[in-house]
Structure 1
Amino acid sequence: MSGFKEYHQYDGLGLAELVRTKQVTARELLTEAIRRAEIVNPKINAINNFLFELAQQSLNHLPEGIFTGVPFLLKDLFSDVQGVITSNGSKAYNNYLPPKDSELVSRYKASGVNIFGKTNTPEFGLMGITEPEAFGPTRNPWNTSLTSGGSSGGSAAAVAARIVPLASGGDGGGSIRIPAAHCGLFGLKPSRGRTPDVGGEHWDGASCEHVLSLSVRDSAAMLDQIQGPGIGAPYVIKPPELSYLAVLDTPLKQLRIAFTTQAPYGGTVALECIRAVEHSAALLADLGHHVEEKTPDFNGDMLLNSYLTMYFGHTAADIVDLKRLLGAEAVKDLEDNTRFLALMGQCLSASDYVSAKRDWFAIKQQMDLFHQDYDLLMTPTTACPPVAVGSLAMSGIKKMQTRLAVAAGAGMAGLCKKVLLDITKDEARKNLDKTPFTQLANLTGQPAMSVPLYWSEDNLPIGIQFVAPYGDETTLFKLAAQLEQAQPWRAKMPDIVGLCS
């Protein structure tokens, strides 16, 4: 491996095996990862905080784990590393130095990975694109004029560009699966309670942490390392009978798979995304599975409204936390959009929030009934291929209306409701119409994954989503491994990888 030019051909477990068998050293892997970051990052803006010195120091005391020596990147959202800025994609947090590692970061470290940077994310992880004012937009390695998705867009871009084979992410409405789909990666959102919570029952358990990866086995192996409740966990789930890595080698039964291309909120689904589902349905049938078209019976408007209620309410709570931690002055450094979303949260009543949570439960009941007949639900991960950077930004008029609303404050309830209808719902639907398939699993707590099974005529990856019953990551991993073997994707790389050759 002279010069480590073959680095990009390995997944994380493959690199760890090279270290374990002394074919390379952890220092050599880190040097190569840094070299690639320095070449590629100026073009895609995936990494917002380089921790090269910290990683060099860590080489002397990396623990013995399944990923020992593998270079790794953390999504810069609630991923506290002692003494390292956790910006949460915001200027408001840009000087915050956590006093200790978070539980999740401790578990990542215990796997043996060597953390050498943090990746870009929208402010507070609120968007399905990654374009924070604090750090600028992350660009898609497959076409740098397009978005990498969000909110784990920095991690996705870094993995797709082969800076690292896997990187951390979080998923509160699709934030692992959306960027995985846009960047041609494997991304699995675990069941509610499977991994340690961050931020204190963040988004009422809708948000879950895991990684985006080149290979299925890396995802399975890392979930083995980080799964299990943390101290004071609000949700505790039964652990798997076998490790997720071990089940990849076990037989998969014939599955009953329903598929739909109908967007839950009634929006348009791009023809290429429909073709991707049709292609995947044929592939699954060839593999011996029973596949049929069937749309789950739940109310899409109920799903949208209950999701937005949680989204607004937790944004308001996040600003309360910011004030407690850094003082009221820090709020002035937030983006207008974040402050406006928080204002919408302040306009909601307690009964609004309780009703929304009851709707979550009603939708979960519908999905439980659905899974009595079907093992999995298959959809496009997104309703369209990745869009242009900046195309989902608010217009100048909308920004002005937003600032006026924020200046007016929550006391003007009538204005708040009008703005909610005129701006927020319009802007939220405009964004969610691009990604309407992912929020379901966040509200119900089900595990879901995006698998890179299709590329458009423009050579853009289009992900396919599979949703399983609560607690059944095992079936998802087994199917993903079968699909990876039947239609390998790791050899597909964006041209930008060639800059590092």
Structure 2
Amino acid sequence: MTIDEYRQHDALGLAELVRKGQITPMELLDLAIQRIEAINPDLNAVIHFRYDQAREEAKTADRNAPFAGVPFLVKDLGMEIQGMPMCVGSKGYRDYISEQDSFAVQKMKRAGLLILGKTNTPELGLTPFTEPKLFGPTKNPWNHAHSPGGSSGGSAAAVASGMVPLATANDGGGSIRMPASCCGLFGLKPTRGRVSWSALEGELWSGAAIENCVSRTVRDSAAYLDVIQGAAPGDPYIIAPPKRPYLEEMGAAPGKLRIGWSGAHTLGLPVDGACQKGLVNAVEALRSAGHTVEEVALPYRKEDLTEAFLVVVAGETAAALDLMGAYLGRKVRPSDVEPGTYALNLLGRAFTAGDYAFAKHKWGEITRRIAAFHEKYDLLVTPTLAQRPIRIGALQPTPTEDRILAVINALGLGSAVKATINQLAEKIYGYMPWTALANLTGQPSMSMPFHWTEENLPIGIMFTARMNEEDMLYRLAGQLESAAMFRSYS
């Protein structure tokens, strides 16, 4: 098999070739490593490598496993692999080595996936772009001047460029769906509680974050979620298991759905014409498939969403730095993390327990409002992002903002940081006004490409369903896959 032939197959297709004896796991690993070594020095998608261990595992690979012998990459955040670094994009964790596999990683290995390494992520997964100071920025394979999104940008760049057919991603505010949109991939955020976190974590970001993957085909995503879904002892959320495998769901008809769509920016800002064009294309595809589609007003207020999300994320960042301090054996210093991370931590400490409780009350209020919306509509459809993939560096703090953050961090002025953090947050919300909703409510939500810009950049459209209805999303994705604008990278 040549590299070009390797890149034409999805993960299930490669596993089928292994089962038929047409190729060996070792041969697949060699092809993936060849591809990584050829293009990763430019893209900077993979930051830790595990070639020797993967080759040892390939010798005893179960050829009847669903992903038998398939090369695979894991995001360097959230999922622990025994003996591997987990830096989460931070200098404070640059020497951390995982002592055990996460529950989901154990499932990945049993499913036949051969883990070759770990992919780049912004520090603590905090931004919708992947530009950690520790490892440097990851480039979008389709246009190297632009970002692959975040925080799963390393995984998305690796999959889009053909290093591997799928890779792990996780999503606390859009971090599966945004990189999928920026790189022309399929990405689905599951329902809260669908996938267990690490052996040491019950939840991340107060239940907002969850694990899945980015992939080039819908069926790979469905089969992967079949593998990793399910709770572990001690998990805080236990939800109903799927009625049948998601891989079976994507081949079933979704029925006639009632769908509400909106292209209105939650902050009242203009939306990029390319994103509007993608939305038009998706609405036309839905109507052609026989669904009832109508424009709706967004069923929540932007003030509730942005403030409620910021309070919790700031508090979680403060807690994350406390955990880092426990690992380091001392209090975290501003030099251990990036300026924006340290400032967000200070803001988290300036908020009170009452602020956090009130924010969580708002989460519940928004969730009730969205549930009322779904009494009438099966899906809410919006662009995934309000702008085409940004240029690398576009959302970084300006030099003035950096100087302000440096002073605030040096003096520990948590109460003074809010105005600067709000200014930075407004820039980021301007780019990603819709994705965080499903993280607050816990709903499943997916992104599929429905347009390409003149700069050869993909535009994703987001479909959000009721709680526990990943099955419907996979059925719809299977129906729309031929109408969506997936492209092969060359």
TM-score bracket, shorter-length normalisation = over 0.9
**Secondary structure of 1:474's aligned partner:** helix
Matches within 5 A, 1:54-453: 54-63=53-62, 64-198=64-198, 199-328=201-330, 331=333, 332-409=335-412, 412=413, 416-421=414-419, 423-453=420-450
Would the alpha carbon gap of residues 4 and 297 (structure 1) be closer, same or farther in structure 2, given more than 3 Å must change?
Answer: closer
Worse-matched range after superposition: 356-365 or 62-71: 62-71
> One-letter code of the match for 1:336?
P
Displacement of 1:152 in angstroms is 0.1
- Give the stretch that moved more between structures: 459-468 or 103-112: 103-112
Contact 1:151–1:175 (8 Å) recurs in 2: yes
Q: What amino acid is aligned across from residue 417 of structure 1 in structure 2? A: S
| Residue 493, structure 1, aligned to residue 482, structure 2 | no
- CA drift of 1:185 comes to 0.0
Contact 1:65-1:110 within 8 A present in 2 as well: yes
Q: Which moved further from structure 2: 352-361 or 81-90?
A: 81-90
Partners of 2:160 and 2:183 within 8 A in 1: yes
Alignment partners' CA distance in 2, 1:233 and 1:264: 33
1:35 aligns with 2:34: yes
Supply the distance in 1 between the matched residues of 2:485 and 2:395 (Cα, whole angstroms): 32
Aligned positions, number: 486
| TM-score of the aligned structures, taking structure 2 as reference length | 0.97
Aligned-residue offset at 1:361: 0.5
* Aligned residue number for residue 10 of structure 1: 9
The alignment partner of 1:147 has SS state of coil
State how far apart, in whole Å, the 2-side matches of 1:488 and 1:144 are: 20
Equivalents in 2 of 1:322, 1:277: separation in Å?
42
Query: How far apart, CA to CA, are the structure 2 residues paired with 1:62 and 1:124?
Result: 33
- The question of whether the paired residues in 2 share the 8 Å contact of 1:260 and 1:378 is answered with yes
- SS at 2:146's partner residue? strand
The one-letter amino acid paired with 2:217 is S
Distance 1:278 1:5 in 2: 33
Residue identity opposite 1:234 in structure 2:
P
> After superposition, where does 1:18-29 map in structure 2 within 5 Å?
18-29=17-28
- Structure 2 unaligned segments of length 5 or more: list them: none
Give the CA deviation at 1:404: 1.2
- In the TM superposition, residue 228 of structure 1 has moved relative to its aligned partner by 0.8
Q: Aligned partners of 1:80 and 1:5: how far apart in 2?
A: 31
1:367 & 1:5 partners in 2: Cα distance? Answer: 45
- Tell me the SS of whatever aligns to 1:433: helix
Counterpart contact for 2:346–2:417, Cα < 8 Å: no
Moved more, 192-201 or 158-167: 192-201
Query: Is the Cα contact below 8 Å between 1:138 and 1:157 reproduced in 2?
Result: yes
In 2, distance between residues paired with 1:450 and 1:155?
Answer: 15
TM-score between the two structures when normalised by the length of structure 1: 0.95
Give the aligned residue type for 1:303. L
Structure 1 vs Structure 2: percent identity of aligned residues?
A: 44
Q: 1:103–1:230: 8 Å Cα contact kept in structure 2?
A: yes
Aligned-partner residue type, residue 461 of structure 2: I
1:296 CA displacement? 2.8
Partner-residue secondary structure (3-state), 1:369: helix
Q: Secondary structure at the match of 2:150?
A: coil
Aligned residue for 1:19, secondary structure, equals: helix
Unaligned runs of 5+ in 1: none
Q: Which amino acid aligns with 1:368?
A: A
Give, in angstroms, the shift of residue 391 of structure 1: 1.2
Rounded to whole Å, the distance in 2 between the matches of 1:119 and 1:441 is 24
Deviation of residue 330 (structure 1)?
5.5
CA contact (8 A) 2:90 2:132 kept: yes
1:397 aligned counterpart, secondary structure: helix
Which deviates further from its counterpart, 315-324 or 397-406? 397-406
On the 8 A contact 2:286/2:293 being kept in 1, the answer is yes
Q: Which secondary structure state, in structure 1, belongs to the residue aligned with residue 234 of structure 2?
A: coil
2:451/2:485 contact within 8 Å kept: no
- DSSP 3-state at the match of 2:169: strand
| Structure 2 CA distance for aligned equivalents of residues 110 and 230 of structure 1 | 16
Asked whether the 8 Å contact 1:296–1:367 carries over to 2, the reply is no
TM superposition outliers: structure 1 runs of 4+ over 6 Å: none
- Displacement of 1:485 in angstroms is 2.9
Report the aligned-residue RMSD. 1.2
